Structure 1
Amino acid sequence: MFTSRYTVFFSIALLSLLLAALAVTGKISWWWSLIPALLTLRGILDIRQKNHAILRNYPLMGHFRFLFEMIRPEIRQYFFEGDNDGAPFTRKERSLVYQRAKGDVDSRPFGTELNVKQTGYEWVGHSLAPTVLANHDFRVTVGAERAQPYAISVFNVSAMSFGALSANAIRALNKGAQKGGFLHDTGEGSISPHHREFGGDLNWQVASGYFGCRNEDGTFNQDKFAEQAKSPQVKLITVKLSQGAKPGHGGILPAAKITPEISATRGVPMGVDCVSPATHSSFKTPIGLLEFIQKLRTLSGDKPVGFKLCVGHPWEFFGIVKAMLETNILPDFIIVDGSEGGTGAAPLEFVDHVGMPLQEGLLMVHNTLVGAGLRDRIKIGASGKVITAFDVARTIAIGADWCNSARGFMFSLGCIQSQSCHTDRCPTGVATQDPGRMQALVVPDKAERVYRFHQTTLHALQELVQAAGLPHTSALRAHHIVRRISDHEVRLMSQLLKYLEPGDLLNGNYRYQVYEKYWPIARADSFHPAL
């Protein structure tokens, strides 16, 4: 537990003892030991306090971070977070989450700090007849046709596995989700005891490794799945096809990182690399995917089941939709993960150059379902750099029903984006399995921050919806979002994005090149096009 993180504290404590001993012998005055003694006391208080993970992990030294924070956030950035100008989230976005998680006022004097003349600037068009809504608990029903439908919040915790995050981080997220009544996605690492401790609602992600429901050879075990899926805590089940940060790529958890607890949670042996394949072994075609979804529904007691993907080749998703039309087996929901999504285990080229960004992927999924006459029966979730209330409003306006956020909730736990997730040396105890570092994250305190971040973000969303004169987030449309496209011209998003009309694809009204070129060659019986 006591590593180099405590070097300064131990050095001062030893100095304090040495000076005290010299004072006792009369060799020096007691005044010489006063300052080291006070610093030692301060360090002990740092370790014992529960509000700041940085101080628990870095007694005394951690105060420099807060000193720089008071002077100027940018100084803190470079001294304690690294030069993250190219990081997935800006300093302002992180600061906003910290403020909301702590319950601080997030209003701003002297107007916007954004350049409203900059190309790409966006805003919500407001109404002269704003609405007044009773509360900010916006929900949509997923799986209305199922025996166990679920009223999901429009803002939820996105997929982050136990193993990637610490046990305390998982516990805090779930406790916050339980208090706020929103959904906690397990990630592909399955359901751990830490997910179950506080009883928060879960979206169980079933990925290609079938962790938590696998045979020894890595294939799907339906008995193990049914045992976990029937838990009242599991509200949704997601078949993960691909992840935004590394679509089309599997993963490996090295044997050295597999603890007995992770081994039991995932159902993998100790001492062997845990391999997550790039593809599923349970199906190989669009029709096979839908049949697998139907199987999971039956095994779970008819709970809502859907799939998650980062959109790649258009004809592959078109083939899935054609399979829906051919079999009449529909997923209850589809989660679109944009390539903006992050992870501590993605190759650089995949992060920067593989996968469709959220706006384009979401629009394609929404349009295709509309054109096939299926949109009213299938809900759409979205994830990928969604962090503010405006992000949620914009994403729903484009075509989603709800949003998931990973990094936003990590920030609410205290993540400072040090980008050391892969080193197991996370300074705040969020993304580590090191027991010493993990203990710095105090669950009750951070769970309250998770809850507050969710509530304050939804409150801000309520104010946006009211300002737009709307009754619910479900009324948001692309024409409610305005975008600057040059110094002297703005357009509604509905003018910039291309939308299909209901039934267009069924009637042969392809309208746009992507459908004209790829819809005819998409196949329900294969992910490969009919060339």
Structure 2
Amino acid sequence: MKKIGIPALALAGLTTYDLLQKRHSILRTFPVVGHLRYAVEAAGPELRQYIVTDNNTERPFNRDQRRWIYASAKLENNYFGFGSDNNIDGVDGYPIFKARTFSDLPARPHSPQAFLPSAKVLGGPRARRAAFRPSSLVNISAMSYGSLSAPAVEALNTGAALAGSLHNTGEGGLSAHHRHGGDLVYQIGTGYFGCRTTDGAFSLPALLESIADAPVRAIEIKLSQGAKPGLGGVLPGAKVTEEIARIRGIEPGKDYVSPSRHSAFGDVDSLLDFVETIAEATGLPVGIKSAVGHLEFWEDLADAMIPGTRGVDFMTIDGGDGGTGAAPLAFTDHVSYPLHTAFPLVQRIFQKAGIAENITWIASGRAGLPDTALMAFAAGADMVNVAREAMLSIGCIQAQRCHTGHCPTGVATQNAWLMRGVDPTTKSARVANYMTALRRDLLKLSDALAVAHPALAGSDDIDILHADGSITSLTEAIGYQPGWGLPSRDDRTEITRIMYADA
């Protein structure tokens, strides 16, 4: 009996510890058996010598990318040893960042928080009353409360506050879980959740009421998102709790399908009127978010903004290869261009129109790693938004069960037992650590290129290697002219002064 009792007591003790600890979501939700995952993960490098899957095979984020995010979030060593395991010479389209030997810039005063503001003042060119310079060029992308759990949203918002970043509410409205210190970007989707009339139309008074006492710094109008451009989102009735229904202005327990397009406007002209109405009423910068398909919309928008009387303050270009939203496979695989194709397509239109400098450009869609972010900055981005990478930092294991409501780590679910695994206090620190690490690595890359700020990296700073040994500059690959994608001379001068103020 003693031989049986000792293991049983040990097992009970381990179970109790796992249930009470707050460091690991998997162990908190799946005590004891969750240790098997960490054991296999620890032995991964050795096991991978005998199995097919390598560090760069998995998608949407491969093992190396996830390891960098996890290590950064936990303040562990995020360096890699023994050289690259990428097939650099044998891959077509491999990017190379071209380091400079000498630099005229002074030694950078690296701060512990990796201070890295936006190169542009958001809303400055259109003189919005509440124009401001975002203190972080890396911010948290739109993920609604409802699609994410309450503790996940709280962790992201608190983490955003710790990192000095902006947190986009997503189209599900502004909840109490968004009010933990982080500055907000309020997103308006086609369902107008949180700012709608009883019959589902947009309501400006409801919007003003929603943001009246909240730290909302900007408004984003979502035209489409990368997961399902041209398709409305679905919120199953099982997820529409009393709280979520109250926040969104809908009935509890009922399925809700967002319209595929907006009812408040139907063309570029009425869109710009809508933007200016909101900007005038709130004083806030107002922008749009969209995936990219047919380019006529963007050409018409650029033409309408040339006179300067109306315009959007920022554009969030979203990659069309899926994201945090659940969608039919055909949409994630085939509808709209991926980010690094989409962004230059739109940027070229506004560069030719001569108004690109008047817009703050935001890239989203797997832009939350140092290399992918720098590619976006070189193409003209001023900031990047991160979604899935932020989810990984708070415990997501890429189980790809977001659409089922049974996320094992409690991040993308409303299941009370599963979301118990997310402790907002520890996870908020992790998302802040990740954001800081990303900014720090972007600073290191900027130093290698001898530029003061990632947004000052140009398309000439990157070459594309081809499997046949040839080289194409990024400038040529994306069809840019010299200087395209860079902030204005005044913005370049000002951000350089800010970055070296203490040098």
Q: Which residue of 2 aligns with 1:134?
A: 109
Query: How many Å separate the matches in 2 of 1:32 and 1:306?
Result: 65
1:164 counterpart = 2:147: yes
Residue matched to 1:193: 176
Select between 334-343 and 97-106 the one with higher mean Cα deviation.
334-343
1:443 Cα shift? 0.7
Output the amino acid matched with 2:128.
R
Partner residue, 1:406: 387
CA displacement 1:443-486 (0-9 Å, x = unmatched): 11000000000001111111000111111122111111121023
Classify the secondary structure of the residue corresponding to 1:381: strand
1:123 to 96, 114, 120: 96
**What is the alpha-carbon distance in structure 2 between the residues aligned to residue 225 and residue 452 of structure 1?**
33
Q: Does 1:382 align with 2:363?
A: yes
Residue 133 to residue 415, structure 1, CA distance change in 2 (3 Å): same
1:447 to 413, 428, 431: 428
Question: In structure 2, what is the equivalent of residue 92 of structure 1?
Answer: 64
Is the partner of 2:297 in helix, strand or coil?
A: helix
Name the amino acid aligned to 1:410.
M
TM-aligned CA deviation for residue 109 of structure 1: 2.1
Q: Is 1:177 aligned to residue 133 of structure 2?
A: no
**Within 1, Cα distance between the matches of 2:46 and 2:246?**
43
Which whole-Å CA distance do the structure 2 matches of 1:265 and 1:150 have between them?
A: 28
Q: Deviations over 1:140-197 (max 9, x none)?
A: 221112111122221111111111100000000000000110011111111111001x
1:40 paired with 2:12, answer yes
**Counterpart in the other structure of 1:522:** none
Aligned to 1:22: none
- Which structure has the greater CA radius of gyration? 1
Unaligned runs of 5+ in 1: 1-28, 504-531
Match of 1:266 among 241, 245, 248: 248
The TM-score, its normalising length taken from structure 1, stands at: 0.85
Secondary structure of residue in 2 paired with 1:363: helix
Task: Name the counterpart of 2:472.
Answer: 491
List gaps (5 residues or longer) in structure 2: 485-503
Q: Which residue does 2:350 correspond to in 1?
A: 369
Q: 1:501 to 1:416 in 2, by over 3 A?
A: same
Matched to 2:155, the amino acid is A
Structure 2 Cα separation of the partners of residues 75 and 280 of structure 1? 51
User: What SS is found at the alignment partner of 1:382?
Assistant: strand
User: What is the TM-score when the length of structure 2 is the normalising length?
Assistant: 0.90
Cα deviation digits, residues 503-524 of structure 1 (max 9, x gap): 9xxxxxxxxxxxxxxxxxxxxx
User: RMSD of the TM alignment (CA)?
Assistant: 2.2
Superposition deviation, residue 85 in structure 1:
5.3
Distance 1:71 1:502 in 2: 48
Distance 1:84 1:122, change over 3 A: closer
1:288-346 Cα deviation digits (max 9, x unpaired): 0000000111221x110011111111112111122223572011111100112313421
Match of 1:341 among 304, 307, 322: 322
Q: Amino acid of the residue matched to residue 262 of structure 2?
A: H
Q: Deviations over 1:71-99 (max 9, x none)?
A: 116969xx9x9x99563111111111001
Distance 2:45 2:152 in 1: 25
The CA distance in 1 between the partners of 2:172 and 2:432, in whole Å, is 23
Distance (whole Å) between structure 1 residues aligned to residue 36 and residue 301 of structure 2: 54
Answering whether residue 238 of structure 2 is matched by residue 256 of structure 1, we say yes
Pairing partner for 2:190 from 187, 195, 208? 208
Q: Distance in 2 between matches of 1:326 and 1:492?
A: 34
CA change 1:168–1:74 in 2 (3 A) is farther
d(CA) in 2 for partners of 1:344 and 1:178? 24
State the SS of the aligned residue for 2:385: strand
Answer yes or no: is the 8 Å Cα contact 1:133–1:462 preserved in 2: no
Report the counterpart of residue 132 of structure 2 in structure 1: 150
Indicate the SS of the match to 1:380: strand
